[in-house]
Amino acid sequence: MEAIIEKMQDETTGVPVRTVKSFMTKIPSVFTGSDLVSWLSRHLSLEESWESLHLAHLLAAHGYLFPIDDHCLTVRNDNTYYRFQTPYFWPSNQWEPENTDYAVYLCKRTMQNKARLELADYEAESLARLQKMFSRKWEFIFMQAEAQSKVDKKRDKLERKVLDSQERAFWDVHRPMPGCVNTTEMDPKKLSRINAIKAKRLRQCQELILQHNLKNNPIVTITNAQESEEAIQKNIEKNNESSIKENGETSQTQPETIEVEKTIEQQIEAAKRQLSVLKARMERRNVRVSKVAEMFISYCEQYSEYDAFLTPPEWPNPWISDTTELWDQEKQCKEPLPLRRVRRWSFGLRELLRDPPGREHFAKFLSKEFSGENLKFWLAVQELKALPIRRVSSRAKEIWKEFFAAEAPSPVNIDAASRELTRTKVESGTADRYCFDQAQAHVYHLMKSDSYSRYLRSEMYKDYLNGSKKKTSVKGIRSIVSFTGRKETSAN
């Protein structure tokens, strides 16, 4: 297939690739389906047109070429536009993308407000499922997507169009839409044979490692602890038997001594093996250093504006001066708030809830959405955790009556398992500060995945942000005017 694709991409004898100009836009590096089918018929000596069309289908299904505006990787013998896939994404590179990579890609697509990058229905469902699956590390995935989106924005417009379509086609191959052929799946029989061969080779390697370790150094880490322990026991028994044979007849007390020595040796060997396994676990990294570095770099870039040592603030830095005007201004919460403070609410739900004005503004939005009880419950649980121990039990019952009882004035919707667990803790009479933790985590996840994203897209937040921008610009103009006025006065 790749040999055919390379011939098709030849500048002189290949498929004619061109940039199509339409009204107000350009479509770079495309060719039509009819040109593709005719080229295959002419250069591969295919007599029937359906043979050329079938071969074109196979090339598209394996990801070597793709339609520019469709997720279904098929070829039609008409004027539909197609594009070649870059060799970086060819199947011969043996790609095995993970779900986290797919989540980063879908999340990046949602950040770009363009019609051609809108998620299809099945992609939106996949994103919701992945967000639920990776809820604990979704902030890391979001930061990765944001960093990639910033890099993409720096590229040329036409180049960005081509790269976006090639990346979309790559995921159409590895995460195809429902009803399409998945060429990356392997036949179950073939897969079982491969797994059997791998298991056999693994056993052989383990036996060789075991023999080598027993002969040379029993302290070395052994792959299979159970097999190694049995082998060591057999080895000890053989050594004991040989020592008995060399010494001749043994006394009646020797078997007991041998058993004691054997038990001690086994304990020592087991402890050494456990120590080596724990050392190996400490040296193993669960996350790549490059990914951790990217995460820290993007985090520092995002929060550099709020670091008084990196970005000089409007008021004196309280860490290196004797004044606390900066903190006092932030506590006063005068509206409209500074732009940098309102922009920080978009970093995450935690940042929004930490800021009292942001929390109040979010509560107004939720009341309009008829879901204000979620935030009320979350705040009530946060308050419960700070109460004295003598008031915890009574306050827990009040929270239960307000949000979870049969006739609760502000009912909160949570799953049955969390509700039953919370009810058991509250009604047992031994309710503590953390009896609502599971329900609170469920409500927080709902707000983060649904309400918070809608809040950032709402006109309510955008208007508030624009109001802060206007306030900042007007303040700058006033400072210039007042400075000029003082200068003229002094001159007079």
| 348 within domain boundaries | yes
Task: Give the residue carrying structure tokens 């500074």.
Answer: 338
pLDDT in tens, 449-489: 889 999 999 999 988 888 766 555 444 434 434 434 444 44
Question: 338 and 449 share a domain?
Answer: yes
Cα of first residue to Cα of last residue in the chain, in angstroms, is 85
> Do 333 and 469 fall within a single domain?
yes
pLDDT of residue 116: 67
Same domain assignment for residues 335 and 267: no
Instruction: Tell which residue, 376, 431, 435, has the closest CA to residue 408.
Output: 376
115, 198 contact by CB (below 8 A): no
Is position 134 within any domain?
no
Where b means 16+ CB within 10 Å and e means fewer, 112-135 reads eeeeeeeeeeebeebbeebbeeee
- Are residue 260 and residue 337 in the same domain, yes or no? no
Q: Give the type of residue at 295.
A: M
Domain count, the chain: 3
Is residue 60, in this structure, part of any structural domain at all?
yes
pLDDT of residue 379: 94
Same domain as 405, residue 458: yes
Across-strand partners of 22? 25
Considering the domain architecture, whether residues 351 and 231 belong to the same structural domain is answered as no
Domain boundary among 283, 314, 334: 283
Q: Do 462 and 344 share a structural domain?
A: yes
| Domain end among 228, 254, 283 | 283
Residues 383 and 277 in one domain: no
Report residue 422: phi and psi, to 5°: -65, -40
Asked if residue 119 lies in contact with residue 127, where contact means CB atoms within 8 angstroms, the answer is: yes
Residue 279 and residue 342 share a domain: no
**Do 396 and 467 have their domain in common?**
yes
Range of the domain at 58: 2-93
Alpha carbon distance 117, 114 (integer Å): 5
Residue 207 lies in a domain: yes
Is the whole model's pTM more than 0.85, yes or no?
no
Flag whether 339 is in a domain. Answer: yes
The answer to whether residues 269 and 330 belong to one domain is no
Contact 158, 26 (CB under 8 A): yes
Sign of CA dihedral 399, 404, 410, 416: positive
Residue 354 lies in a domain: yes
**What is the CATH classification number for the domain harbouring 349?**
1.10.167.10
Pair of tokens at residue 341: 């403070």
Clarify whether residues 373 and 447 are in a common domain: yes
Query: What is the domain-level CATH number for residue 20?
Result: 1.10.10.10
Q: 29's torsion region: left (phi>0), alpha (psi -120 to 50) or beta?
A: left
pLDDT score, position 489? 40
Domain closes at, from 93, 125, 154: 93
Predicted confidence at residue 259, as pLDDT, reads: 63
CA proximity to 396, closest of 346, 440, 362:
440
Task: Tell me the average confidence (pLDDT) per consecutive run of 10 residues in the chain, 492 residues long.
Answer: 87 87 82 89 84 88 86 86 88 84 88 75 87 85 87 84 88 84 67 75 76 56 47 54 48 54 79 86 77 88 83 77 76 73 90 90 91 92 89 90 89 88 85 89 91 91 79 46 41 40
Contact 183, 339 (CB under 8 A): no
Residue 16 domain-assigned (yes or no): yes
Within-domain flag for 152: no
Sheet of 18-22: strand order equals 18-22, 25-32, 81-84, 65-67
| pLDDT tens string 182-213 | 777 665 666 677 777 878 878 877 777 776 66
